[in-house]
């Protein structure tokens, strides 16, 4: 009888040349599990298959499996493959007053509600993309990225964000991390200005790309661009400053572009949370005011899911070649099938529908957050984005108390100067959000 795929697995085991064969097999399996080579939940070959691989009798293998099941190394259920049992799992709470191994409620920033990912619509777009893709799309990819996706991005970004970029000036990458690295490489190192409050990983990426960073103060009007000098570039979150929450004022937008034209510097626009606004009119992309001097960076990490690893750069003409060269040397970009799926998703209107639904969901969550803290704490930075600021006196102590209560939070000090909580209201699934707000209210 032919073995099924579930039972004809290969397994490399080093059996001793001498001694009882069954004992040697048991020892080899224990070593493979305890050493981590066979992870929790791993399927093992059937006794018939492993016996054939090792030159043993089937009964010898079956008896060894039975002994390890009795010892708790393996688990076996009737009609299912034998698997490695779970070992060494930590309890969710180790002792009274300690920090839970995994928080009950996660209000950290930077991630959307991944449980709301449009699986059905995405699967439909994936099937359509794969069914209609010409064979040559599976060859080595275009260095700029999928032409189909760049065409859709050009139209979408122009319509929704005011970006002026032809498909030939859009470079698809694996997210903002790769985008900043490519831009830093294309600029060739040297001084770069960054906002004093921002994402530390972004700064590390720019430094790895050769940039020497100069901080710019940030207030309610965004970054103070009047302090710019002879830097090669400046990174701005023009639509929604992270984490303080304001937008770059019209006067400072004009000043930043004037600086770029005067010095030859490049503005790198991180369109952080650009699609999510609630109490204000849409703020167009800075790039649309001067495509020659602004490199626009976007991603689906917060609109869809970070696990997709899809982002883009609308590159100025003077940087395009350098960005593409750096991308080729860094190992390329996202998989072509995911790019084609996103293109089909956008072309069919699925992306627009998902953004509209998400905007409504997150606005309701923001309103619930404000209502829950009414009278307990002020909440700022709420006109757009996926997080809010809650000022507190002793940031570290509040975060520590929250952690002991099973509530994960980011402090403002993580992104700049301490002084408050950066409460992300997008991450919890719908069924957990009310509990997260109750825990936050109790904490404050």
Per-residue model confidence (pLDDT) at position 283: 84
Asked whether residue 382 falls in the same domain as residue 343, the answer is no
Which CATH number is 330's domain given?
3.40.640.10
Asked whether residue 332 falls in the same domain as residue 358, the answer is no
Instruction: Let me know if residue 98 belongs to a domain.
Output: no
Cα separations (Å) of 364 from 72, 205, 426? Answer: 48, 34, 10
Instruction: Let me know if residue 357 belongs to a domain.
Output: yes
Asked whether residue 236 falls in the same domain as residue 292, the answer is yes
Q: What percent of the chain has pLDDT over 90?
A: 75
Arithmetic mean of pLDDT, 33-50: 90
Using one digit for the tens of pLDDT, what is the confidence trace for 173-195?
A: 999 999 999 999 999 989 999 99
Asked whether residue 259 falls in the same domain as residue 321, the answer is yes
Q: How far apart are CA 357 and CA 368, in angstroms?
A: 17
Per-residue model confidence (pLDDT) at position 307: 94
Least confident of 69-73, 160-164, 171-175, 240-244: 69-73
Asked whether residue 330 falls in the same domain as residue 391, the answer is no
- Our CA dihedral for 273, 277, 278, 280, rounded to 10 degrees, sits at 140
Instruction: Let me know if residue 376 belongs to a domain.
Output: yes
pLDDT surpassing 70 at residue 402: yes
| CA triple 91-94-98, angle to 5 deg | 135
3-state DSSP percent of the chain in helix, strand and coil, to 5? 45, 15, 40
Residue 250 pLDDT grade (very low, low, confident, very high; cuts 50, 70, 90): very high
Instruction: Let me know if residue 90 belongs to a domain.
Output: no
Using one digit for the tens of pLDDT, what is the confidence trace for 139-156?
A: 999 999 999 999 999 999
Using one digit for the tens of pLDDT, what is the confidence trace for 210-225?
A: 999 999 999 999 999 9
Arithmetic mean of pLDDT, 361-388: 92
Asked whether residue 372 falls in the same domain as residue 314, the answer is no
Instruction: Let me know if residue 171 belongs to a domain.
Output: yes
Asked whether residue 394 falls in the same domain as residue 425, the answer is yes
Per-residue model confidence (pLDDT) at position 151: 98
Which CATH number is 404's domain given?
3.90.1150.10
Using one digit for the tens of pLDDT, what is the confidence trace for 70-124?
A: 888 999 877 778 999 876 333 344 444 565 667 899 999 988 999 999 999 999 9
Instruction: Let me know if residue 411 belongs to a domain.
Output: yes
Mean pLDDT (the chain) is 91
Name every residue whose Cβ is closer than 8 Å to that of residue 229 and which is 6 or more positions away in sequence. 191, 214
pLDDT surpassing 70 at residue 7: no
pLDDT surpassing 50 at residue 394: yes
Per-residue model confidence (pLDDT) at position 19: 84
Instruction: Let me know if residue 10 belongs to a domain.
Output: no
Asked whether residue 310 falls in the same domain as residue 356, the answer is no
Question: What predicted TM-score, i.e. pTM, was given to this entire model?
Answer: 0.81
pLDDT surpassing 90 at residue 395: yes
Asked whether residue 168 falls in the same domain as residue 267, the answer is yes
Instruction: Let me know if residue 13 belongs to a domain.
Output: no
Residue 6 pLDDT grade (very low, low, confident, very high; cuts 50, 70, 90): very low
> What residue numbers bound the domain in which 44 lies?
21-84
Asked whether residue 335 falls in the same domain as residue 357, the answer is no
Q: How far apart are CA 116 and CA 127, in angstroms?
A: 20
Domain-ending residue, one of 298, 317, 348:
348
- 200 contacts 247 by C-beta, under 8 angstroms: no
- 343 contacts 334 by C-beta, under 8 angstroms: no
User: Among 200, 313, 183, which residue's Cα sits nearest to residue 192?
Assistant: 183
Arithmetic mean of pLDDT, 304-325: 96
Q: How far apart are CA 417 and CA 412, in angstroms?
A: 6
Which CATH number is 71's domain given?
1.10.10.10
- 326 contacts 187 by C-beta, under 8 angstroms: no
pLDDT surpassing 80 at residue 2: no
Asked whether residue 232 falls in the same domain as residue 339, the answer is yes
Per-residue model confidence (pLDDT) at position 273: 81
Asked whether residue 273 falls in the same domain as residue 385, the answer is no
Domain-ending residue, one of 295, 315, 348:
348
Number of domains in the chain: 3
């Amino acid at each position: 009888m032919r073995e099924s795929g579930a039972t004809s697995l290969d397994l490399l085991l080093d059996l001793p040349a001498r001694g009882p064969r069954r004992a040697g097999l048991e020892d080899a399996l224990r070593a493979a599990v305890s050493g981590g080579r066979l992870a929790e939940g791993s399927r093992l070959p059937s006794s018939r298959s492993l016996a054939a691989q090792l030159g043993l009798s089937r009964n010898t293998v079956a008896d060894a499996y039975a002994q390890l099941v009795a010892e708790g190394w393996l688990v076996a259920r009737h009609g299912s493959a034998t698997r490695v049992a779970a070992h060494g799992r930590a309890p969710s709470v180790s002792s009274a007053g300690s920090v839970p191994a995994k928080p009950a409620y996660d209000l950290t920033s930077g991630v959307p509600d991944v449980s709301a990912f449009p699986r059905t619509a995405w699967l439909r777009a994936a099937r359509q993309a794969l069914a209609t893709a010409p064979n040559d799309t599976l060859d080595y990819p275009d260095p700029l990225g999928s032409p189909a996706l760049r065409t859709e991005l050009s139209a979408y970004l122009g319509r929704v964000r005011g970006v002026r970029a032809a498909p030939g000036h859009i470079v698809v990458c694996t997210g903002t991390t790769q985008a900043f690295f490519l831009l830093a490489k294309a600029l060739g190192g040297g001084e770069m200005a960054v906002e004093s409050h921002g994402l530390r990983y972004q700064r590390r990426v720019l430094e790895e790309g050769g940039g020497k960073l100069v901080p710019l103060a940030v207030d309610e009007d965004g970054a103070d661009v009047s302090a710019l000098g002879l830097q090669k570039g400046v990174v701005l979150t023009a639509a929604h400053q992270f984490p303080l929450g304001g937008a770059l004022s019209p006067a400072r937008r004009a000043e930043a572009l004037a600086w770029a034209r005067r010095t030859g510097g490049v503005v790198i626009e991180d369109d952080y949370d650009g699609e999510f606004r609630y109490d204000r009119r849409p703020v167009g992309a800075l790039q649309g005011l001067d495509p020659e001097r602004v490199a626009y960076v976007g991603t689906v990490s917060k609109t869809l899911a970070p696990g997709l690893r899809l982002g883009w750069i609308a590159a100025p003409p003077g940087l395009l070649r350098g960005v593409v060269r750096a991308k080729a040397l860094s190992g390329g970009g996202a998989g072509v099938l995911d790019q084609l799926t996103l293109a089909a998703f956008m072309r069919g209107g699925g992306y627009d529908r998902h953004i509209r639904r998400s905007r409504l969901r997150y606005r309701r969550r923001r309103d619930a957050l404000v209502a829950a803290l009414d009278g307990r704490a002020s909440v700022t930075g709420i006109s757009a984005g996926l997080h809010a600021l809650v000022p507190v006196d002793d940031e570290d102590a509040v975060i520590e108390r929250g952690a002991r209560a099973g509530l994960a939070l980011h402090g403002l000090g993580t992104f700049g100067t301490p002084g408050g909580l950066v409460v992300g209201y997008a991450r919890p699934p719908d069924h957990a959000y009310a509990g997260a707000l109750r825990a936050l209210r109790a904490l404050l």
